């Protein structure tokens, strides 16, 4: 199995999502791993120039490296059999580095197309495990802006087999150990 690992936490080794990703790797032992750390190797945020470059039919010399990055990120997804995304919650949403990654993946005619029946994802679906780590408890509540957004985006580009493993209430010293143990047990079984 070829796994694509997306690390997004600003906390490095102290990150719960990174520790849970490591747990997943230890338990599943994929034969090949591609890691994309969006913090140590950040993807630039979208601006008008970058948007034009990503979507250029014939990129010029300035646009070509930007489109090449988008192509690389898409190729990483295409090559993987399984995708694991660490997703801490910052200020009630996804980390901005995750949004930058998504902005480089959304390409009309490449990862999605508009049809008479609405948008259609063009990437071949594969299992995506999202490890959602949060200080509070938001899963399956109206306050959870992450899960619906991430599911919608991934389905938009064709990735519809998405499951979430939640580690919540991590800001509570009393609840943290149990929350992490529960998430580890779910990851071991996934």
- pLDDT exceeds 90 at position 2: yes
How many Å apart are CA 21 and CA 16, to the nearest integer? 9
What is the pTM (predicted TM-score) of this model? Answer: 0.94
- pLDDT exceeds 80 at position 190: no
- CB contact burial 90-101 (16+ within 10 A = b; e otherwise): beeebbebbbbb
- pLDDT exceeds 90 at position 160: yes
What average pLDDT does range 9-37 have in this prediction?
95
Confidence at residue 100, expressed as pLDDT on a 0 to 100 scale: 97
The answer to whether 55 touches 108, Cβ cutoff 8 Å, is yes
- pLDDT exceeds 90 at position 53: yes
How many Å apart are CA 122 and CA 92, to the nearest integer? 30
Interhelix angle 96-105/64-79, rounded to 10 degrees, is 90
Cα-flanking dihedrals φ and ψ of residue 124, to 5°? -70, 130
Fold topology of 2-45+77-100+115-189: Rossmann fold (3.40.50)
Residue 73 is encoded by which pair of tokens?
A: 């990120």
């Amino acid at each position: 199995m070829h796994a694509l690992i997306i690390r997004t936490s600003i906390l490095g080794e102290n990150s719960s999502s990174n520790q849970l990703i490591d747990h997943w790797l230890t338990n599943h032992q994929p034969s090949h791993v591609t890691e994309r750390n969006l913090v140590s190797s950040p993807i630039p945020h979208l601006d008008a120039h970058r948007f034009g470059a990503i979507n250029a039919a014939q990129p010029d010399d300035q646009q070509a490296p930007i489109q090449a990055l988008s192509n690389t990120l898409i190729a990483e997804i295409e090559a993987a059999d399984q995708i694991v995304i660490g997703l801490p919650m910052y200020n009630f949403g996804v980390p901005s580095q995750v949004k930058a990654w998504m902005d480089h993946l959304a390409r009309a005619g490449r990862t999605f197309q508009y049809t008479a029946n609405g948008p259609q994802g063009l990437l071949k679906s594969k299992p995506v495990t999202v490890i959602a780590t949060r200080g509070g408890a938001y899963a399956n509540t109206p306050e959870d802006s992450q899960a619906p957004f991430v599911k919608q985006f991934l389905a938009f580009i064709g990735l519809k087999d998405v499951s979430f493993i939640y580690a919540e209430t991590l800001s509570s010293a009393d609840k943290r150990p149990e929350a992490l143990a529960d998430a580890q047990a779910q990851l071991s079984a996934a």
